[in-house]
Structure 1
Amino acid sequence: MRLDGKVALVTGATSGIGTAIASRLAEEGAQVLLTGRSATHGTQLARRLPGSRFHAADLLREDAADELVASCVAAYGRIDVLVNNAAVDHTGDLVSTPTTEVRETFEVNTFATLRLMQAAGRRMMGTGGSIVNITSRLASVGVPTMGVYSASKGAVLALTRAAAVELAPYHIRVNAVAPGMTRTPLYQAWLDRLPDPAAAERDVLARIPLGRLASPEDIAAAVSYLASDDAAYITGASLPLDGGYTAQ
């Protein structure tokens, strides 16, 4: 119960990694405001997690970040933890990707994250807090067809480090968690589209020193640690959760 008494806002909480993060924070004692694309899943999850609520919001709206933080404070009286998990995927040849797709990817992955950091940061300035941004192994390594997505997550990594320094005087810690390939519904959908899913997965696993994919619970455990007072002297860090992939 190392998060007992803390209040957390988790974006992208209605599926995959986000659901695992919200569940782990609640299990460790936090009250959690959930937001995500599916109101049905969000409402069901809030019912399962003690002290949790769901607030539907479109992160593409300019005022969504302020709305979510205000809702969190109205419901619980404070905000101690922000987890920026919401994101969209993008694959495509770099030289032929339309600018509209680039903008759409950055709007969710980068600009919405920035707006939420600003809104939560303003509220945390009097009390301190922890911001955890979910980036990607692709923020640090190059993979063909993933250039736009990589750039959107690389921007968040750079922002994490700069914000950590700027917000440190207010006792606001800012860190990143960088997952590698993770066994989520999105990963499974990608695998199922391939001609030989079994062979493709063997190839993926062969590139990971630990020999397995991450689970959403692996990511959630790292987020919980960085959100807690156990990580009180950690800020500006990016924690790779990729089974050693980027260590090669």
Structure 2
Amino acid sequence: MNEQRVALVTGSTSGIGIEIARRLLRDGFRVVVSGRSTERGEQIASELGDGASFIRADLTEPGAPAKLVDATVEQLGRLDVLVNNAAIDHTGSLLDTPIAEIRATFETNSFAAIECLQAAGRAMREQGEGGAIINVTSRLAHIGVPTMGIYSASKGAMRSLTTAAAVELAPLNIRVNAVAPGMTRTPLYEEWVAQQDDPAATEAQVAGAIPLGRIATPQDVAGAVAYLASPEAAYLTGVQIPVDGGYIAK
């Protein structure tokens, strides 16, 4: 393979996604940044510099995941890595959450991600050189937290899909793995902390529950993704790396 490798990172116009795109660029990939906001996406791609490009996609629109993958291959000539990062948050009483909210959460976190995996897998099969698909799940796919049941279920579906897809796609040399971030310093996290009565005490409590004693950074998550996308992980498939400071190991 002489061509420069291409990575597509969904949901990469904010938070963890930006850092994943930045790290893969640093590792020598050409990277497609994707999200719903054209203005934001073009700004991010420009900030990331040479090797980064933006393709707009609302992955919940009919056919959007396949169109995104097709556009990536059309513009850059190939696809070697898909990072299934796009997701929305959800909190609410499990017994009282309306079915419309449940469906909306699964549309982005599960159904759209499955469609992205399918489309990327087909493109990699056509190229005949294999590839890597990395699903961003969550520690909440493994633990129970009140009010997070719907989100947990949507991420748990992707955790299960990772192992099943890894086995089915292995004959095509398509590796399917996952990373499961714990609490991470994203804009969403910072907003949540700021809303607490005592932000400093809340942050100390959160960090104190983590064996390594600190909250993850987006760069921590990006490092795990970069490893799974690299040749060094050529013999890994069907695994999930918990990027949670040891939280679920307790």
Q: TM-score range by the shorter chain?
A: over 0.9
- Alpha-carbon distance between aligned partners in 1 of 2:109 and 2:101, rounded to the nearest angstrom: 12
- Alpha-carbon distance between aligned partners in 2 of 1:62 and 1:171, rounded to the nearest angstrom: 29
Partner of 1:12: 11
Contact 1:178 1:241 (8 Å CA) reproduced = yes
TM-score by length of 2: 0.96
Partner of 1:89: 89
- Alpha-carbon distance between aligned partners in 2 of 1:15 and 1:201, rounded to the nearest angstrom: 22
List runs of 5+ in structure 2 lacking aligned partners: none
SS at the partner of 1:86?
coil
1:223 to 204, 222, 225: 225
1:11-67 CA distance string (max 9 Å, x none): 011001000000000111100111013322211221233121101111001211111
Residue 143 of structure 1: CA displacement? Answer: 0.7
SS at the partner of 1:183?
coil
- Alpha-carbon distance between aligned partners in 1 of 2:49 and 2:114, rounded to the nearest angstrom: 27
1:78-116 CA distance string (max 9 Å, x none): 100000101000001111111111000000000000000
Partner of 1:46: 45
1:168-220 CA distance string (max 9 Å, x none): 00000000000000001000111111111111111101100000010000100
Q: Which moved more, 1:31-40 or 1:231-240?
A: 31-40
- Alpha-carbon distance between aligned partners in 1 of 2:93 and 2:169, rounded to the nearest angstrom: 37
SS at the partner of 1:150?
helix
- Alpha-carbon distance between aligned partners in 2 of 1:53 and 1:38, rounded to the nearest angstrom: 14
Partner of 2:109: 109
Matches within 5 A, 1:78-227: 78-125=78-125, 126-227=128-229
TM-score by length of 1: 0.97
Contact 1:26 1:49 (8 Å CA) reproduced = no
Contact 1:141 1:246 (8 Å CA) reproduced = yes
List runs of 5+ in structure 1 lacking aligned partners: none
Once the two structures are aligned, what percentage of the paired residues are identical?
59
The one-letter amino acid paired with 2:248 is: T
Q: After the TM superposition, which segments of 4 or more aligned residues of structure 1 sit over 3 Å from their partners?
A: none
- Alpha-carbon distance between aligned partners in 1 of 2:79 and 2:163, rounded to the nearest angstrom: 21
